[in-house]
Chains A and B, each alone.
Chain A
């Protein structure tokens, strides 16, 4: 079983709609969680950290559910520019610097 699992998608979303997807992690002692976005043939870029209480950054909302061991990302009012692959990242329980990346969820926003 992979340590970090994501639905690969693609999630096809009409412009202006809301899309949400999850990422599950296997190690219950994982400490920190992040979402990165990666455009086609580009490098990953940090989108947002995920805090225990949940956090919001503009149209993006991240949630953490420790009991069920998943994090989620919700995108409201989707823009064409939101089309990308969203990578879930989980830090190791024994070392904050040791990060596990999921394979990513592809989102395609259509006009």
Chain B
């Protein structure tokens, strides 16, 4: 069974440029999460979807971050414009059961 697929794995951009990350969850997993992880820290939730509905986006900086999950399957997270402090690993996860998350390998963003 295929796991959670994310792309790109690595992205280097200059500040003020836009960037987008894509995630394809495990088939049948209705819940999809986007997390941000800085070095030495635990993942921090950006947004959680139940099917196509964003049920928790309270931690998403909406002035520059946006996300969508059309048709309740794959999802895109966008940052525009990127800032230096956005450099981090962006993790996508999906789950079928409460608390049992399956993570993708992450997208490592470096903003110069």
Are the CB atoms of A45 and B99 closer together than 8 Å?
no
B50 touches A43 (CB 8 A): no
| Interface residue tally for chain A (C-beta within 8 Å) | 23
What is the total of A-B residue contacts with beta carbons within 8 Å? 56
- How many chain B residues sit at the interface, stated as a range, is 20 to 34
Residue ranges of A at the interface with B (Cβ–Cβ < 8 Å): 4, 8, 32, 34, 36, 42-46, 49, 87, 89, 91, 95-99, 101-104
Q: A44-B103, A91-B98, A101-B44 are in contact. List 17 more A-B contacts (CB 8 A).
A: A32-B98, A42-B105, A43-B91, A44-B101, A49-B99, A49-B100, A89-B99, A91-B99, A97-B31, A97-B48, A99-B45, A99-B101, A101-B35, A101-B43, A102-B42, A103-B40, A103-B42
List, sorted by A's number, 20 A–B pairs whose CB atoms are closer than 8 Å: A32-B99, A34-B100, A36-B101, A43-B103, A43-B104, A46-B100, A46-B101, A87-B42, A87-B43, A91-B98, A95-B55, A96-B99, A97-B50, A97-B56, A98-B48, A98-B56, A102-B42, A103-B41, A103-B42, A104-B42
